[in-house]
Chains A and B, each alone.
Chain A
Amino acid sequence: MVEDKKGNIWKKLITFQLRHKFPILAVVGLITAFFIYQITFKVSITTDFFELYPPKHQYIQLYKQYRSMFGTANVMSMVLEVKDGDIYDFDTIKKIDRITKELLAVKGVDPLQVMSLTHPRLKNFGVGSNAINVGPILKALPERPEELRALKEKVYSNEGIRGIYVSLDDKATLIYAGFWEEGLDLKNLFKEIQRIKLETEDANHKLYVTGYPMLYAWIASYTPKLYSIFLFTTLILLGMLVYYFRTVIGVVVPIISGLISAVWGLGFAGIMGYNIDPLILVIPMLLSARAVSHSVQCLERYHQDYQLYGDKEVAIIKSYTYLYKPAVVSIVTDGLGVLTIVVCTIPLMQKLGIIGSFWIISIYISVVLLNPILVTFFPPPKIKGKASQPLLKKDATHSEAKEPDTSRSGEAAYLVACKFCTSFSVSWKKWASVIFMLVVTVVGGIVATIHIKVGDTSAGRAILYDDHPYNVAARKVNSEFIGANQMVVVAEGSKKGAIGNANAMKTLEDMAVYAVDNISDAGGALTIADMTKMVFKVFHDGYPKWLLLPEDPNHIEQVFRLVGGSSTGGEMDKYISRDYTNATVIIFFRDYNNQTIKNSISVLKKYIEEHPVEQVTFRLAGGILGILAAVNEEVEYSYWVSMAAIFLLTYILCVLTYRSFVAGLILILPLACSQVLCDWFMLAMKIDLNISSLPVAAVGVGVGVDYGLYILSRLAEEYQWQGNYESALFTAINTTGKAVIFTATSLIGGIVLWIFSDMKFQSEMGMLLCFLMFFNMLGALIFIPAMVAVIGPEKTIRKYKVD
């Protein structure tokens, strides 16, 4: 064994820890208690909408700046559908009225954004010389059949109700409710909507509910079910530990490590005032499972060294001295890797990056610092599966220790798996393995980069199953109505009254027409210019040829003054500001995906560039589609930057650890190959990148590097010890490789239950992580040894300092 000063440092650290174990335990215990307090009182599993928006993105800044003007983008849509007949019956109208009133009472609702057929703001009008009848479409609930008939006629004779509030076949009606992001209580909303649904639905009526507030209310409703996934996951991990070690120490210590890391990670979130979003809960679960896996690696080595040396303290010092370096390198690499998520300016991701990073760093405490101490409190391990038998005699040689024990059930299978893995690092197979990996990484990487898409489906379809009531409702809204999905362009004047200008008004109108004509999914558009034309028409006996924009600024101003003076506060704000400085172009979409949004933005940018207007600047893009555009742009950028940063960082740390550029490459390439395979998996499963899949990929890379580091370190150690690569490889794969197989399978065990989640997204991410764990395991067990064999151990692992 090579001894050097640095090597002594690890040994001194272990010795120091063991010598001061009680003070260390006391300090860690106190801090853990403090974190438990934080978790109890400060951590909540909830969604904060503003954490999903990248605050510095120009679209989000626009949305925040003008949110009070054109209303919240978080609009819920409820469709009340009748089975037999049409909506014009007493019972249905009563139901619409009751739903409307009940929505007005839901916490967080913006009363100005609640609209329905029975809401008094929905107006009926007629133009005549002697009398003009204007008032609510529905003045009072109809009690006679002729009143129902009158309502139907009003719906038909007034523009803008059919298709917006009533479906063209008269069998469904739409009720809108906007919710302020900060005032929304998702659990309460879900409860209220379920109550309304229960009270409304009967044999002839069905209520569909969709829209962002409802999506997140659904997600929040699944939180309790997640706890059962946690419980079963813990049980699976316990079972695997029992099977693998069959010693008390082998079960208790890793579980303590996982729990302490979880407490520290969650407690840290509490201190920072961060909430845990239910959508990314799979990540904390994975982080704790990784604490368990680190602990397993350490205990596996401790068991081996105890078998070798027969002395508990010697075994502790030997095993943890050896593991200190790869463990610290691995933890630092992982921690920094997860931290790279903070390049994403979406607050949820930044917070996850910070929490995740701390969580991983806490593994140093829970495993590297505590494990050797905890081990001292347990009796020495017995032979696996044969608890009464000591492991080995004290004077056993190293070569004896490396002999595989196949007496225990499962060991034979391990041996077969290990032999299978090592077979790829000899003869022509090593070349085949390396070439295969390079081809997959380079060619596959290029293909994946081109084809993988961000936000290719709507948020509802990405998160929930296609037949989920939310998605069924979304399809109902999109097929029967227009206007549920909006993108808003703001015309920002450089001085007061800038919109009261014929050019500005015409540009608003032209942009609306251009958008509808050139954006495939745009169902229509609305601006203050349309309003102005309608008022101008009413001025002129309602004659359709007067649907013209006034050109004289005085005329425009007079129309605006009428509008502003006679509307109740806030009702016109979504179209024009009260001082006529800013206005909006609202574009309605029937359906959307990321490509639609991108095209729309591109069409609008082109129009704005080609049509400059004096004193008015057009700014993109508000509304729910503007927010999605910002999030998607940010995710797309962050995914690739974050990936590049993780790989670069991992490479640098590996180069520093192994003092070899080639060794760095050997560790990075299998990771890249795994990532490419996962990208393919995403393509095959039609999983698109979104705000929540970004951290999954980032954490996945970190897991892979763990395996690589442990395998490469063991290879280096065995090679320097034995001087023969094939023999070193066999030992490494049979010892550390076995632990890698166990940790990979235990991590998969920690994730596999997510596949059965009620949420499609969590299920897909579960599957994705399982695949990633599996590919990373194969990368570490097959590609790394193969590359070392091809390049030559002398050039790769000779300089690695083994302690």
Chain B
Amino acid sequence: MKKRTHLAIPILILTALLFLRPDSVFASKKGGVGAAHILSESFVNAKEGWASGLRGTVYHTTDGGMNWELQNTTTDTPLLSISFCNSQVGWVAGKSGAILNTVDGGNTWKKQILPKNRHIFALKALSPEKCWAAGDWGAIFYTKDGGNTWEDKTLPNDLILYCIDFQDENEGWIAGEYGTILHTTDGGINWTTQTSDTINTLFSISFSSNLKGVAVGLSNTILKTDDGGNKWQTVVMDLGSKQDEPSSLYSVKLRDNKGIAVGDRGWIITSTDGGKTWEQLPVPLNVSLFWFAQVEWLDDGKAVIVGMRSSVTFIENDKLKLLGFMPVVVPDKK
């Protein structure tokens, strides 16, 4: 097995997990306890979006996340990332190089072939033709023909790459293990490594402009840049009594000066100064049971958070509203 992080994790710790009876693993397509986890989402406007998850699930909403309809992907492979460039064209990818493309808003999904069978953790659809994918073993794949062919731009080093963000078709960032941040300004022909201020894994990166960006990751790691990543600074949050029990942040989004990040144990933090300072949004104790996989700003200023057990949570005017578990309308089986 490939060595990942935290080699010092005692075996006991791993085993401790096994003694639990995690109801969260009661995988199911039903809502509520036993529902499958949602791991990724992508919105093209304030109303229309898609979400993907374990067990090959893709859901579609046309009312800003209030109601979701299960789409037929014909796969039960875990789908770890989803990205749409408009209301018709999008990709969803996941375990062992599984990737599907739609050109009709998800009514039909077609399999595509990646050069290598890597787990794909991040997708970024830039246009109906262009899309980036990143995953483990340093995998970076790119298509410029709608996915008919994917170019292999895999890194020579063994890294897990967890996130991608592009400001335009030329400039983008990819981040991942060991605080790795890669940067391109030529549409991915060349990638340079930026110096981050951490060796912690980064799970998410988001830029509000070509200069301003944030990245988040393990143990509440928050990085901020004001110069396109030439210099990354660590933002320290005051965790108060929870200093000894840090959580991880799995997703961050920066829009203008407004930032939001979500993560483990119900963590939701927000920033109103472009990521310089962050505050934890108080959540009810029952929400702290959940981990959140991804957050997205909608055009109307609302944030939609998806995660554990198909939970859907909204943030509106800094107020949290747990919608509950993804309401699903299952269409007739084909």
User: Which of B16, B18, B119, B265 has the most A CB atoms < 10 Å from its CB?
Assistant: B18
* Cβ B4 vs Cβ A517 within 8 A: no
Which positions 518-561 of chain A face chain B at CB distance < 8 Å? 523-526, 530-531, 533-535, 538-545, 547-548, 550-552, 554-555, 558
9 A-B contacts (beta carbon < 8 Å): A129-B221, A132-B10, A156-B286, A157-B288, A513-B29, A525-B26, A558-B1, A563-B15, A567-B15
> Is the pair A534, B26 in contact by a Cβ cutoff of 8 Å?
no
Q: Is the CB of A547 within 8 A of B37?
A: yes
Is the beta-carbon distance between A526 and B26 smaller than 8 angstroms? yes
How near does chain B come to A514, taking the closest CB pair, in angstroms? 9
C-beta contact mask, A162-180 vs B, less than 8 Å → 1, else 0?
1110001000000000000
Q: Which residue of B lies closest to A132 (CB)?
A: B13
Stretch at the interface among B84-92, B148-156, B181-189, B244-252: B244-252
Q: How many residues of B are counted as interface, with CB atoms below 8 angstroms from the partner's CB atoms?
A: 64
- A510 to B218 alpha-carbon distance, docked (Å): 31
- A562→B15 contact, CB < 8 A: yes
Chain A residues positioned under 8 Å from B42 (CB to CB):
none
CA distance A135 to B80 in the complex (A): 31
A771 to B78, CA, bound (A): 61
Which listed residue, B10, B17, B23, B160, touches A482 by the CB 8 Å rule?
A: B23
Identify the closest chain B residue to A510 (Cβ): B76
A521 to chain B, nearest CB (A): 12
Residues 274-311 of B, flagged 1 when their CB comes within 8 A of A and 0 if not, give 00000000000110110101000000000000011000
Name A's B-contacting residues (CB within 8 A).
Answer: 121-123, 125-135, 152-153, 156-164, 168, 482-483, 509-510, 512-513, 516-517, 523-526, 530-531, 533-535, 538-545, 547-548, 550-552, 554-555, 558, 562-563, 565-567, 571-572, 575, 588
Which residue from chain A places its CB closest to the CB of B18 in the assembled complex?
A531
* Residues B248 and A161 in contact, CB atoms below 8 Å apart: no
Chain B residues whose CB sits within 8 angstroms of the CB of A482 once the complex forms? 23, 33
Looking at B9, B11, B13, B121, which has the most chain A CB atoms within 10 Å of its CB? B13
Chain B residue contacts of A129, Cβ below 8 A: 5-6, 200-201, 218-219, 221
**Quick check: is B162 within 8 A (CB to CB) of the other chain?**
yes
Given A130-B219, A517-B29, A544-B293, the answer on whether A159 and B288 have CB atoms closer than 8 Å is no
- Which residues of chain B (213-272) have a CB below 8 Å from chain A? 218-219, 221, 244-248, 250, 264-265
Contact bitstring B191-218, A, C-beta under 8 A = 1, else 0: 0000000001101000000000000001
Pair B12/A160 contact, Cβ less than 8 Å: no
Query: How many angstroms between the C-alpha atoms of A563 and B288 in the bound complex?
Result: 28
Q: Which 8 A-B residue pairings sit nearest by Cβ, starting from the closest?
A: A524-B26, A566-B11, A530-B25, A160-B22, A123-B16, A160-B20, A566-B15, A159-B22
| Inter-chain contacts of A163 with B (CB < 8 A) | 23, 33
Interface contact B248-A542, CB-CB below 8 Å? yes
Q: How far is the CA of A203 from the CA of B113 in the complex (A)?
A: 67
Closest to B121 in A: A545
- Is A523 within 8 A of B14, CB to CB? no
How long is the Cα–Cα vector from A134 to B4 in the complex, in angstroms? 20
In the complex the two chains form, what is the Cα distance from A526 to B27 in whole Å?
9
* Chain A residues in 8 Å Cβ range of B16: 123, 125, 134-135
Does B246 contact A128, Cβ atoms closer than 8 Å? Answer: yes
Q: Does B127 contact A (CB under 8 A)?
A: no
CB-CB under 8 A from B13, the residues of chain A are 125, 132, 134, 538
Contact with A along B55-79 (1 / 0, CB 8 A): 1000000000000000000001010
- Give CA–CA (A548, B4) in the complex, Å: 15
Select B20's contact among A123, A517, A572, beta carbons within 8 Å.
A123
Please state if A160 and B288 are interface contacts (CB–CB under 8 Å). no
* A156-B288, A541-B4, A544-B37 given; 14 more Cβ-contact pairs under 8 Å: A133-B245, A135-B16, A153-B285, A156-B289, A163-B33, A483-B21, A509-B27, A516-B27, A523-B26, A533-B25, A535-B14, A541-B248, A544-B293, A545-B162
B131 within 8 Å of A (CB atoms): no
A135 to chain B: closest residue by CB: B16
Query: Is B289 a contact of A524 with CB atoms below 8 Å?
Result: no
B54 within 8 A of A: yes
A565-B15 Cα distance, complex, nearest whole Å: 9
The CA-CA distance from A594 to B84 in the complex, in Å, is 48
Cβ-based interface call for B24 (8 A) = yes
Which of B17, B34, B250 contacts A523 (CB under 8 A)? B34
Closest Cβ of chain B to A153, distance in Å, is 7
B167 at the interface (CB under 8 A from A): no
Contact between chains at B250 and A544 (CB < 8 Å): yes
Assembly CA distance A516 to B31 (angstroms): 12
**Which of B23, B95, B218, B221 is most buried by chain A, counting CB atoms within 10 A of its CB?**
B23
Please determine whether A152 and B22 come into contact, CB atoms closer than 8 angstroms.
no
Question: Assuming A129-B6, A544-B250, A555-B1, is B218 touching A535 (CB within 8 A)?
Answer: no
Contacting residues, chain B, for A562 (C-beta < 8 A): 11, 14-15
A513 near B23 (CB under 8 angstroms)? no
Q: Which of A131, A135, A539 contacts B244 (CB 8 A)?
A: A131
Bound-complex Cα distance A512 to B54 (A): 14
Q: Which residue of B lies closest to A588 (CB)?
A: B26
B274 CB, nearest partner CB in chain A, Å: 25
**CA separation between A566 and B308, bound complex, in Å?**
28
Is B28 on the interface with A (CB-CB < 8 A)?
yes
Known: A132-B9, A512-B27. A538 touches B245 (CB 8 A): no
